[in-house]
Amino acid sequence: MPCSSNVKSLQLHMFVDASLDAYAAVAYLRVDLGDEIRCSLLASKTRVAPLKPISVPRMELMAAVLGLRLAKCLESELSIEIEKRVFWTDAQDVLFWIRSDARKYPQFVALRVGEILESSEVGEWRWVSSELNVADDGTKWTKGVEVNSSIRWFSGQNYLLQDESKWPLGNEMSKTRESQVLHHKEEIKKQISPLACVMPDPLRFSKLERLRAAQKRGLDFLRLLSVKPHGPELERLLLLKRDVEMDTIFIRTCQEEEFFDEIRCLKENCCLTNRKSTIYKCSPYLDPVGVLRMQGRIDAIENVEVSVKRPVILSRHHRIAYLIVEYHHRKYHHLHAEIVVNEIRQKYWIPGLRALVKEIINKCPVCCIRRAQPIPPMMGTLPKERLSPHTLPFTFTGVDYFGPIEVAVGRRREKR
């Protein structure tokens, strides 16, 4: 460190970068001596990527937070006063987040952007190309790199030794649209069935009977509204109410939300072509009312209902299937799981049914009480005669008397 009297300005330059494997932050101290500018490595910090997969823009944001925390730590530990801080990143989406309102972004982005804005200014963040970003060397694995004091990791980028007018311009960042940088978690969202608008939310009910009662009240309300003028939307709901029975609405809602792709494939190709589907081996088909059923080999049997020959397919992950299994569990008085499975399969085919039945049994309060065992009593202490070591055989003897013993009770004798 040169003499403080010769120093004109001290600047802290922080480079941050991230990849799928790691994210890093590198700090350099830029000293302006008037006739000479020096730059040297001050500190660096690297973190491996989380085990849970995360997008690169969010990794870049985590690198920015890491660089900010490292800069705060250095400022508190150094005995010199830093006149200016500059944070360099090659992530345009991070710069866009910092320059926007953090409240309109997801929680992950909003919290980290808020932390950045609390301890830094927007003008301190600048853009640099990936080729000139020194932190890029700490996020990628390269073979055959010779480590010596002359590499840029220790001395920083060459433009830091030049005048500020020759630095990369931060306004070269393209105006990225908000929809391009706003991160959306890639997940398969469940399709909302059109029939869901004429039935209550199953998640609000703990028993199937209550769900059916609420559905019945809703249909009665639509019946009352049908005598009044109504629009096309209500007309469509009334048609659904007249054409589809209440139980069929439950079943189709469950199927259209869980097997949307399968139903669409059956409507287009008349057969399921996706071998990775969980119901591919069930040979599914759509009956005339649009219910997904399983084809079996017992169609020739007589005096058996159609639901037994071709049961309705349901997903064990849907709330309606859970309520149906829970209803049968209570209907048959909390009996063994195989009895409940046998009765349900008279009408429904649910892949993984046994696991669902066992889950319901484990959560059932009545079954938990029945499975409860009394606390075993504590064992009594052994008699002294059985705990006497170094004694001869037959030192202590006893006789087991297997009665009965006659006892005189008044003028009569009883066996006890």
pLDDT tens-place string over residues 128-137: 888 888 888 8
Instruction: Name, in order, each residue with C-beta under 8 angstroms of 393's C-beta and a sequence gap of 6 or more.
Output: none
Q: Please report the domains of the chain, with CATH numbers, ordered by start residue.
A: 4-181 (3.30.420), 194-370 (no CATH)
The per-residue pLDDT for 147 is: 65
Residues 170-224 pLDDT 10s: 654 544 444 444 444 444 344 555 555 667 888 899 999 998 888 888 777 766 7
**Residue in 62, 36, 64 with CA at minimum distance from that of residue 49:** 62
- The pLDDT of 384-395, averaged and rounded, is 88
pLDDT, one tens digit per residue, over 320-339 is 999 999 999 999 999 999 99
What confidence category does residue 232 fall into, taking pLDDT thresholds of 50, 70 and 90? low
255 in Cβ contact with 292 (< 8 Å): yes
Which pLDDT tens digit goes with each residue over 95-105? 999 998 888 88
**Is the pLDDT reported for residue 231 higher than 80?**
no
Residue 152: band (very low, low, confident or very high) from pLDDT cuts 50, 70, 90: confident
Nearest-angstrom CA–CA distance, 39 and 12: 10
Measured between alpha carbons, how far is residue 21 from residues 2, 18, 138, 262 in Å? Answer: 38, 8, 10, 37
Phi, then psi, of 412 in degrees rounded to 5: -120, 165
Looking at the predicted structure, is the pLDDT value of residue 311 above 90?
yes
pLDDT at 191: 52
Average pLDDT over residues 365-392: 90
Euclidean distance between CA atoms 286 and 312, whole angstroms: 10
Q: How many residues does this entry show for the chain?
A: 416
Distance CA 15, CA 159 (A): 13
If one compares 110 and 236, the residue with the highest pLDDT of the two is 110
Amino acid letter, residue 80: I
Residue 293 tokens read as 């059923």
Q: Give the residue with greater pLDDT, 263 vs 174.
A: 263
Torsion angle in degrees (nearest 10) through CA of 208, 211, 213, 216: -120
Quick count: other Cβ atoms within 10 Å of Cβ 348? Answer: 20
HSE (side-chain half, CA atoms, 13 Å) at 385: 6
The angle that helices 319-331 and 337-344 make with each other, rounded to 10 degrees, is 120
Through-space distance between the first and last CA atoms of the chain, rounded to whole angstroms: 105
pLDDT in tens, 271-306: 887 888 889 888 899 988 889 999 888 888 888 888
20-34 pLDDT per residue, tens: 889 999 999 988 887
Q: How many whole angstroms separate alpha carbon 78 and alpha carbon 224?
A: 78
In 3D, which of 80, 290, 307, 89 has the Cα closest to residue 195? 290
Distance of CA 292 to the CA centre of its chain: 29
Rounded to 5 degrees, what are φ and ψ at 379? -70, 140
Once rounded to an integer, what is the mean pLDDT over residues 82-108? 89
